[in-house]
Amino acid sequence: MKDEHREGLLDEKRLFYPPVGFSTKAVVQDPKIYDLGKESKEFWGEQGKRLDWFEQWDEILEWNHPFARWYAGGKLNAAYNCLDRHLNGARRNKAALIFEGEMGDRRVLTYQDLHREVSQFANVLKSYGVEKGDRVTIYLPMIPEAVIAMLACARIGAPHTVVFGGFSYEALRDRIQDSGAKIVITADGSYRRGKILSLKENVDLALKVKTSVEKVIVVQRTGLSANMEKERDVWYHEAIKEAPIVCAAEPMDSDDMLFILYTSGTTGKPKGIVHSVGGYMVGVATTHQWVFDLREEDVYWCTADIGWITGHSYLVYGPLANGATILMYEGAPDYPEKDRYWKIVEKYKVTILYTAPTAIRTFMKWGASYPLSRDLSSLRLLGSVGEPINPEAWMWYYKNIGGERCPIVDTWWQTETGMILMTPVPGITPLKPGSCTVPFPGVQIEIVNHLGEPVPKGEGGYLVVREPWPSMLKTVYGDDKRYADTYWGQFKGVYFTGDEAKWDDDGYFWIIGRADDVINVSGHRIGTAEVEGALVDHPAVAEAACVGRTHEVKGQAVFAFVSLKEGITIHDGLISELKAHVVVKIGSLARPDDIFLTAELPKTRSGKIMRRLLKDIAEGRTMGDTSTLADASVINFLKENVKPKK
């Protein structure tokens, strides 16, 4: 959690050493790996060998600041690395994907099964004219077809852009238009807490305007009736029925695009983060194996949705490249009961669980009796991702889920970094509750002050990455300049993460939170500018300013200050109407928890909204410097009238 909640963290002295039985069997047992990682380029050259390449690379890294070409000259295919190369030996009939639906239905696909379905679906895409380089939008629930669709795209070299099923049709439309997608893959609906949400309807709405989309492929998941447009829409099961099962994997240049994934930034327009095949795959395969200490017999469960980078890197590409058995669950953690996750762990004997602090805090609130009534003894490693985990939640997770025997890997990374950059390597790195510990081998991270100078241990500042790393973003889709400015233009020569952090006397890192106008709600990035844009789009709104306020479960929640246009009268339903408007424009994840209507927003004399002061108000804390305000009465009014909730 942010701000003062993380103050005093550097006093955290508890150290947790990996259990002896764990270390002696771990994939990585020798701390020398950190020394090897100091020569990043050679280190990553060595790791490149873990993939199957159609053609060997000429150079490990061609660095033309700020543009990197990793494994330049090499040729490979991501789907081939996730599937074909596992088919020659014992893994052929190993479960690649165990799926559990929210209603309790189940499907298991072996590596051979998955290879067949991916090849067939790749042929379907080809038959609709999808060629290497064409973009494909995937708007699907958490069902096996989502993984199949991603890998089918990768197989033929068509970059996918997965859009989280919780995004509204307008957000979906923006992403379809920005990427210029040729095909949309969706489902008739998705199950959530026993209800059916229609996804196809959103696709229809998104495509009401003219777009580049030629075909919509619809997976039948719920049986909900769908309006099928004659020339445009086809059912997945009908299209795949007769599709041939052989489809050669397209040899891709290492720096060809594998996918685009949109994420929020400081402006209203989400950025299409581009990842390329070679570097990305090396990065996620290496980190997945070492961070999660992967063994052949593991059942690995990452609870993230495929609509986020965690779903891409650590549900699909990393684990499958390593030949793991992945578990995929469709629904909500409290359906039908609050013990659903623990029932799943018990049922499939899950050994590795990777989830988010917001989920852990929710489980804490529900009480330990749910996990404690299930047999969780199969678990041997736990992971956390998406936002800072507070030491209290860490301890709860360690005790009640991990039975004090499972190391916790608190993994820091971003959509842009593609792979985990800071984390313990569980067999060798002692843990501190609340700290993501130290950079992964081969990754050079620093904390700098506002001049870009490294700060000494015990101090804080901006988190930057000093050297390129293999799965770094290639660019922002269609906007090289935005890529260069946002990430490499803040501090000379280094990548700016947007985060603030501290490091302690042992060199352990503690993430404070975002340094920019991005809010982290339940581990999801929301740009304040996007929410403000959605609010001012409402006919009653003149101006809006959003800040993040501390929230017990979600980490942060959106707090919006809104001024209305002249002549608008306030009515009872107005606030809910404004909230609903944000849901339509973006999706329910961006819905403000609080909206406060005010005649004016506090501004500087030059007319800039003072978000810093609004944040103080939303947090209910002492106000910072107000001397640059144009009119102090505005802030005094807010101070007296806003009653922050916790």
Neighbours of 19 (CB within 10 A): 15
Least separation in angstroms between CB 420 and ligand WT7 = 8
394 makes contact with ligand WT7 (CB under 6 A): no
413 makes contact with ligand WT7 (CB under 6 A): yes
Q: Which of residues 622-641 bind ligand WT7 (CB under 6 A)?
A: none
- Residue with tokens 């489980």, as numbered in its chain: 363
Nearer to ligand WT7, 344 or 389 (CB): 389
Ligand-binding annotation for 250, yes or no, is no
Asked whether the beta carbons of 132 and 250 are under 8 A apart, the reply is yes
Nearer to ligand WT7, 385 or 406 (CB): 385
Between the CA atoms of 258, 287, 329 and 249, what dihedral angle is there, to the nearest 10 degrees? Answer: 30
Stretch that binds ligand WT7, among 185-193, 373-381, 406-414, 616-624 (CB under 6 A): 406-414
Least separation in angstroms between CB 40 and ligand WT7 = 21
Least separation in angstroms between CB 463 and ligand WT7 = 8
- 540 φ, ψ (degrees, to nearest 5): -85, -15
Asked whether the beta carbons of 424 and 405 are under 8 A apart, the reply is no
Nearer to ligand WT7, 218 or 511 (CB): 511
Least separation in angstroms between CB 308 and ligand WT7 = 6
520 makes contact with ligand WT7 (CB under 6 A): yes
How is residue 337 written in tokens? 């009961």
Least separation in angstroms between CB 500 and ligand WT7 = 9
> Closest by alpha carbon to 145, among 227, 62, 68, 218?
218
Q: Which of residues 213-272 bind ligand WT7 (CB under 6 A)?
A: 263
Nearer to ligand WT7, 418 or 441 (CB): 418
Burial class for 492, CB neighbours closer than 10 Å (0-12, 13-18, 19+):
exposed
525 makes contact with ligand WT7 (CB under 6 A): yes
Residue 326, amino acid: I
Neighbours of 30 (CB within 10 A): 11
Site size toward ligand WT7, by CB under 6 A: 23
- Which is it for the CA torsion 120, 122, 50, 21, positive or negative? negative
358 makes contact with ligand WT7 (CB under 6 A): no
29 makes contact with ligand WT7 (CB under 6 A): no
Pick from 363, 394, 412, 561 the residue near ligand WT7 by CB under 6 A: 412
Q: Which of residues 418-477 bind ligand WT7 (CB under 6 A)?
A: 436
Stretch that binds ligand WT7, among 159-167, 168-176, 307-315, 530-538 (CB under 6 A): 307-315
Pick from 387, 517, 532, 616 the residue near ligand WT7 by CB under 6 A: 387
CA distance 327 to 350: 8
- Which is it for the CA torsion 281, 286, 288, 291, positive or negative? negative
> Closest by alpha carbon to 112, among 92, 135, 89, 133?
92
Sheet strands (E) in 466-622: 475-476, 495-503, 509-514, 518-521, 524-527, 541-551, 555-564, 594-597
Asked whether the beta carbons of 194 and 229 are under 8 A apart, the reply is no
Ligand-binding annotation for 541, yes or no, is yes
Least separation in angstroms between CB 263 and ligand WT7 = 5
Number of H helices, E strands in the chain: 21, 30
Ligand-binding annotation for 288, yes or no, is no
Stretch that binds ligand WT7, among 186-194, 335-343, 409-417, 608-616 (CB under 6 A): 409-417
Ligand-binding annotation for 412, yes or no, is yes
Pick from 415, 437, 475, 486 the residue near ligand WT7 by CB under 6 A: 415
521 makes contact with ligand WT7 (CB under 6 A): no
Asked whether the beta carbons of 153 and 128 are under 8 A apart, the reply is no
> Closest by alpha carbon to 59, among 266, 237, 279?
279
C-alpha angle 470-476-481 in degrees, rounded to nearest 5 = 110
Stretch that binds ligand WT7, among 13-21, 32-40, 208-216, 302-310 (CB under 6 A): 302-310
Stretch that binds ligand WT7, among 215-223, 339-347, 380-388, 558-566 (CB under 6 A): 380-388
CA distance 251 to 256: 10
CA distance 304 to 328: 9
Least separation in angstroms between CB 175 and ligand WT7 = 15
Q: Which of residues 533-552 bind ligand WT7 (CB under 6 A)?
A: none
Residues that bind ligand WT7 (CB under 6 A): 263, 308-310, 385-388, 410-415, 436, 497-499, 511, 514, 520, 523, 525
Residue ranges for the known binding site for CoA are 192-195, 310, 522
